[in-house]
């Protein structure tokens, strides 16, 4: 009887232990709430009949207690989740570490030591956020590059592909940590002038800055391995362009004036095409404006030498 009782206790303990090691499955709604409320969360996106998914699950089942103890991070899994595409271009299996809602995509093998070490070293975000105001000061792209090499992603809030690459770009930053500075900048808002400076058009765009030159990432693959390979060595195969100098306030005013002239010319041509009789009135008015501006420039040019001459007489 004692033996049977002991076996029953061992069996119950084994069941409890197995249940404690099983990852909690969550729905998309539950996952969104966890991402919002948890400071740290590890999520495995899986799908049926996936051997690699099962390998990841087994390793995470043995690690989730350590994650809870040392990282204060919960570990869950989401099967056939519609959210997987937001964090991994290749979808399942995808292992994502959320730190205060910021996702980091793991890009390694389903090895427990490798997974633990990668997450341990990247409990804080690796990608820096840049703006027009701090871009040149932080990167020194055109003034010596003493802060090291920089790999910058130009993104936009309305760019769906940009949002899907957020976790991937964090993975790039984590992999290149301490070797290459990885950052991102909003090309439509806080980084609009910087995007214009480097002639960034289609988003997302990826620019690698090294020793006064900029290299554009034009490879078809947008995955962690391809980005890392480009920053480490592949950039040499791309054409390096000299980093353009930072525009002065005068240059910005001139650019703004040029853009406004283009807008008004386009607007004027549209109106004149619809109302040809305005040509005579508009042409006369435009001629008067040009003539007035020319006379003003002549007066300004003549007045300067006179002032300089007066200064010379006083000095004598």
Per-residue confidence (pLDDT) for residue 146, from 0 to 100: 85
CA distance 77 to 23: 6
Least confident of 20-24, 133-137, 163-167: 20-24
Domain ranges for the chain:
17-121, 128-242, 249-307
Per-residue confidence (pLDDT) for residue 89, from 0 to 100: 85
Per-residue confidence (pLDDT) for residue 316, from 0 to 100: 44
Please write the tens of the pLDDT for every residue from 60-96: 999 999 999 999 999 999 999 999 999 998 889 999 9
pLDDT above 70 for 194: yes
Please give the model's pTM, rounded to 2 decimal places. Answer: 0.74
Please write the tens of the pLDDT for every residue from 89-117: 888 999 999 999 999 999 999 999 999 99
Architecture of domain 17-121: 3-Layer(aba) Sandwich (3.40)
Per-residue confidence (pLDDT) for residue 170, from 0 to 100: 98
Spatial neighbors of 296 by CB under 8 A, at least 6 apart, are none
Report residue 270 as tokens: 């549209």
Please write the tens of the pLDDT for every residue from 266-289: 555 555 566 565 545 555 555 555
CA distance 167 to 89: 10
CB 123 within 8 A of CB 71: yes
Mean pLDDT of 32-60: 96
Per-residue confidence (pLDDT) for residue 90, from 0 to 100: 84
Report residue 139 as tokens: 């990167």
CA distance 165 to 154: 11
Per-residue confidence (pLDDT) for residue 271, from 0 to 100: 56
Per-residue confidence (pLDDT) for residue 143, from 0 to 100: 83
pLDDT, the chain, mean = 82
Please write the tens of the pLDDT for every residue from 110-143: 999 999 999 999 999 999 999 999 999 999 998 8
Same fold, 17-121 and 128-242: yes
Architecture of domain 128-242: 3-Layer(aba) Sandwich (3.40)
CB 23 within 8 A of CB 44: yes
Phi/psi of residue 257, each to 5°? -65, -40
């Amino acid at each position: 009887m004692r033996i049977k009782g002991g076996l029953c206790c061992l069996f119950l303990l084994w069941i409890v232990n197995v249940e404690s090691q099983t990852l909690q499955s969550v729905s998309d709604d539950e996952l969104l709430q966890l991402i919002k409320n948890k400071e740290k969360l590890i999520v495995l996106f899986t799908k049926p009949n996936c051997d690699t998914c099962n390998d990841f699950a087994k390793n995470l089942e043995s690690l989730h207690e350590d994650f809870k103890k040392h990282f204060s991070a919960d570990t869950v899994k989401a099967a056939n989740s519609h959210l997987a595409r937001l964090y991994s271009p290749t979808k399942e299996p995808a292992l994502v570490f959320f730190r205060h809602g910021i996702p980091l995509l793991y890009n390694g093998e389903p090895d427990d030591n490798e997974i633990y070490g990668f997450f341990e070293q990247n409990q804080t975000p690796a990608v820096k956020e840049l703006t027009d105001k701090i871009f040149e000061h932080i990167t020194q792209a055109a003034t010596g590059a003493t802060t090291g090499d920089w790999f910058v992603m130009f993104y936009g809030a309305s760019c769906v592909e940009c949002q899907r690459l957020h976790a991937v770009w964090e993975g790039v930053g984590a992999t290149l940590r301490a070797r290459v500075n990885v950052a991102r900048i909003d090309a439509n808002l806080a980084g609009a002038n910087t995007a214009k400076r480097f002639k960034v058009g289609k988003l997302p765009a990826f620019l690698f800055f090294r020793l006064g030159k900029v290299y554009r990432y034009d490879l078809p693959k947008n995955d962690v391995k391809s980005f890392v390979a480009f920053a480490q060595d592949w950039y040499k195969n791309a054409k390096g362009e000299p980093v353009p100098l930072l525009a002065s306030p005068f240059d910005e005013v001139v650019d703004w004036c040029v853009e406004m002239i283009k807008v008004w010319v386009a607007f004027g041509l549209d109106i004149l095409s619809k109302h040809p009789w305005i040509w005579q009135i508009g042409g006369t008015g435009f001629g008067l404006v040009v003539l007035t501006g020319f006379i003003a420039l002549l007066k300004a040019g003549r007045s300067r030498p006179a002032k300089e001459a007066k200064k010379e007489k006083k000095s004598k």
